């Protein structure tokens, strides 16, 4: 089993599928902020031409669009490509010449996936298989593929989680059929202030004077910043062995406590709406079945692949003794407020989406 990844990203070509999303934008910013270890090419692949247009404008430090903005796109450090991860031929083209692929393309809204399950399959499952096929059948040479997954893939009860769990298995299993490429995964919880997450919803409800809606008082969630998510991807690229899934050690909180921290001293009502279809009370990042093959690496856990052929005998370290749940260790209200303030997410701080490009 391949041990670890490239010691440096300098001169590498990095493809980010779904690269115009919150994670893709912050990952791009992180890569650009490494002058001594900067990639030779950052390729943004997504199907949304509008998001690409505005991301390109920010990268070029332009406030207005002109005809020449898109000219010479393929010659720039940050290159934009229109295409869909569902389209095998578009995926092959985008991957051509890439050293590292980060698959951030996803349908991730739980209710949307419940109502349109096959659409989630097309993006989250078929998209992952298209990346594997491009290497296996299309003979595209890639050193590392990183699958971005979610806590909802663990003991999945909703379509989004089920499709992400399948994505993990597709990528991990690909190490057996395409051994020249290292396929690894990262799995983490709710990202603070990412597009479609609960904090922007709370901000909007507070601005409108309420009410703030929560599902139930007992619901807990893991919380991490986009910066921490990017650090996890970087750690996995640098250290993960083929087939491993990296999981961060991150705080968790009751969602009602997050709502109360954001409301502060305002007179705003909290309304309980009930659990939505496919939701859990608590999320899990490592299941009890996975715990025995999960190694503690300090800041991260590494889940060893389920296939015996991919498990490395040389991997040492303490193993988990039970599942890793968002109910295990909850932040206090003061700790939640401190976390939100640190990431400029309190309403009085003029909170914004953390994925703002190059800011």
Domain boundaries along the sequence of the chain:
13-189+224-249+285-325
* Predicted confidence (pLDDT) at residue 252 exceeds the cutoff of 90: yes
Q: 280-289 pLDDT, tens per residue?
A: 999 999 999 9
Residue 74: what pLDDT? 77
Q: 218-227 pLDDT, tens per residue?
A: 999 999 888 8
Among the residue ranges 55-69, 104-118, 144-158, 192-206, the one predicted with the least confidence is 55-69
More confident of the two residues 63 and 262: 262
Helical residues (DSSP H) of the chain, grouped into ranges: 22-32, 49-59, 88-95, 110-115, 117-120, 127-136, 159-177, 198-207, 226-239, 255-263, 288-291, 333-342
Residues with catalytic annotation? Answer: 152
With contact defined as beta carbons under 8 Å apart, do 49 and 82 qualify? yes
* Predicted confidence (pLDDT) at residue 353 exceeds the cutoff of 70: no
Dihedral of CA 134/161/169/172: which sign? Answer: positive
* Predicted confidence (pLDDT) at residue 3 exceeds the cutoff of 80: no
Residue 183: what pLDDT? 98
* Predicted confidence (pLDDT) at residue 127 exceeds the cutoff of 70: yes
More confident of the two residues 228 and 312: 228
CA dist., res. 120 & res. 127, Å (int): 10
More confident of the two residues 110 and 194: 110
Residue 314: what pLDDT? 65
* Predicted confidence (pLDDT) at residue 312 exceeds the cutoff of 90: no
CA dist., res. 333 & res. 275, Å (int): 22
| DSSP classification of residue 274 | -
User: What H or E segment, with its residue span, contains residue 356?
Assistant: none
With contact defined as beta carbons under 8 Å apart, do 163 and 121 qualify? yes
pLDDT, mean of residues 82-88: 98
CATH number of the 13-189+224-249+285-325 domain: 3.40.50.720
Split at pLDDT 50, 70, 90, the class of 359 is: very low
Residue 68: what pLDDT? 59
Burial track 43-75 (b if 16+ CB lie within 10 A, e otherwise): bbbbbeeebbeebbbbbeeeeeeeeeeeeeeee
* Predicted confidence (pLDDT) at residue 357 exceeds the cutoff of 70: no
Q: 152-206 pLDDT, tens per residue?
A: 999 999 999 999 999 999 999 999 999 999 999 999 988 886 766 788 899 999 9
Residue 33: what pLDDT? 92
Residue 349: what pLDDT? 63
**CA count, 13 A, side-chain hemisphere, 78:** 25
With contact defined as beta carbons under 8 Å apart, do 296 and 317 qualify? yes
Q: What one-character-per-residue DSSP string does 85-125 give?
A: TT-HHHHHHHHTT-SEEEE------HHHHHHSHHHHIIIII
CA dist., res. 356 & res. 22, Å (int): 8
pLDDT, mean of residues 113-135: 97
Q: 337-351 pLDDT, tens per residue?
A: 999 998 888 887 654
Identify which of 281, 259, 233, 268 has the alpha carbon closest to the alpha carbon of residue 340.
Answer: 259
With contact defined as beta carbons under 8 Å apart, do 107 and 144 qualify? no
Split at pLDDT 50, 70, 90, the class of 249 is: very high
């Amino acid at each position: 089993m391949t041990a670890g990844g490239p010691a440096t990203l300098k001169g590498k070509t990095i493809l980010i599928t779904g690269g115009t999303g919150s994670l893709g934008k912050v990952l791009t910013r992180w890569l650009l902020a490494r002058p001594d270890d900067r990639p030779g090419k950052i390729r943004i692949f997504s199907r949304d031409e509008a998001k690409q247009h505005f991301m390109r404008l920010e990268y070029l430090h332009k406030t207005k669009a002109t005809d020449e903005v898109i000219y010479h796109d393929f010659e720039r450090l940050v290159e934009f490509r229109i295409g869909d991860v569902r389209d095998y031929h578009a995926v092959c083209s985008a991957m051509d010449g890439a050293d590292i692929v980060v698959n951030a393309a996803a349908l991730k809204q739980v209710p949307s996936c419940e109502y349109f399950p096959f659409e989630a399959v097309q993006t989250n499952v078929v998209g992952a298989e298209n990346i594997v096929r491009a290497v296996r059948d299309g003979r595209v040479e890639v050193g590392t593929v990183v699958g971005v997954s979610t806590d909802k893939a663990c003991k999945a009860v909703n379509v989004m989680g089920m499709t992400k769990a399948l994505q993990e298995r597709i990528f991990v299993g690909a190490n057996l059929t395409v051994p020249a490429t290292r396929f690894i995964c990262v799995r983490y919880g709710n990202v603070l202030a990412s597009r479609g997450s609960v904090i922007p919803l709370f901000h909007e409800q507070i601005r409108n004077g309420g009410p703030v809606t929560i599902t139930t008082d007992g619901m807990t969630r893991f919380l991490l910043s986009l910066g921490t998510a990017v650090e996890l991807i970087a750690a996995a690229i640098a250290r993960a062995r083929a087939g491993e899934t990296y999981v961060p050690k991150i705080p968790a909180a009751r969602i009602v406590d997050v709502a109360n921290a954001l409301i502060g001293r305002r007179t705003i009502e909290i309304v309980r709406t009930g659990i939505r279809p496919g939701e859990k009370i608590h999320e899990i990042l490592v299941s009890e079945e996975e715990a025995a093959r999960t190694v503690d690496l300090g800041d991260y856990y590494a889940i060893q692949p389920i296939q015996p052929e991919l498990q490395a005998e040389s991997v040492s370290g303490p193993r988990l003794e039970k599942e890793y749940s968002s109910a295990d260790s909850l932040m206090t209200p003061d700790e939640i407020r401190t976390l939100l303030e640190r990431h400029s997410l309190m309403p009085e701080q003029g909170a914004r989406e953390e994925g703002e490009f190059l800011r």
